[in-house]
Amino acid sequence: MGKNGLDGNRLTKAAVKGDWQEVKRLLVEEKVNPNAVNQYQRTALQVMMMGSTMVAEELLKNGANPNIQDRWGFTPAHDVARSGFLDTMKVLTKYNADVNIKDDMGCIPIHLAAQEGYLDLVQFLTPRSNILVKNSSGQTPLDMARAADRTEVVAWLEQSHATEVQTPH
């Protein structure tokens, strides 16, 4: 494994643990490429402890790509939306994460937040997302929230976007 692979392993290992100080040291003192990949071809931003906003901020301000996709088409924003970390999503969008990139199933991050029932994330993502976009199964974020019985998310989407969201009768 070359220097980049070793650097990627060290950086992703620190990011997984949420070790902000080690991430910063590697990026600033050792000048490790923030987009270096580990042995699994994943960057630190892709594997970081999702609730660690300081790690996300450090990686992004040092040039980590917020829109990198894994083999399933997931971006860090998809992972954060699926796991429910609003503060981390705010950091990602501050550094130009595109919340309208589709994964391999045609879902954008708001689809995943709606399906998981993360109302705060749905509320944050709605003005930044195309909420009428359908995934490859033909489902909008509202459809996914309904299917997963996420009543708060369904009610909020129906209420706040009654003019945009079609409700079946």
Predicted TM-score (pTM) of this structure: 0.91
Q: Write the pLDDT tens digit of every residue in 114-148.
A: 999 999 999 999 999 999 999 999 999 999 999 99
pLDDT surpassing 80 at residue 1: no
Contact 77, 98 (CB under 8 A): yes
Q: Write the pLDDT tens digit of every residue in 49-97.
A: 989 999 999 999 999 999 999 999 999 999 999 999 999 999 999 999 9
pLDDT surpassing 70 at residue 162: no
What residue spans define the domains of the chain?
1-63, 66-169
CATH of 66-169, picked from 3.40.50.2020, 1.20.144.10, 3.40.50.2000, 1.25.40.20, is: 1.25.40.20
Q: How far apart are CA 86 and CA 106, in angstroms?
A: 22
Q: How far apart are CA 142 and CA 145, in angstroms?
A: 5
Architecture of the domain defined by 1-63: Alpha Horseshoe (1.25)
**Which pLDDT value is given to residue 78?**
97
Asked if domains 1-63 and 66-169 share a fold, the reply is yes
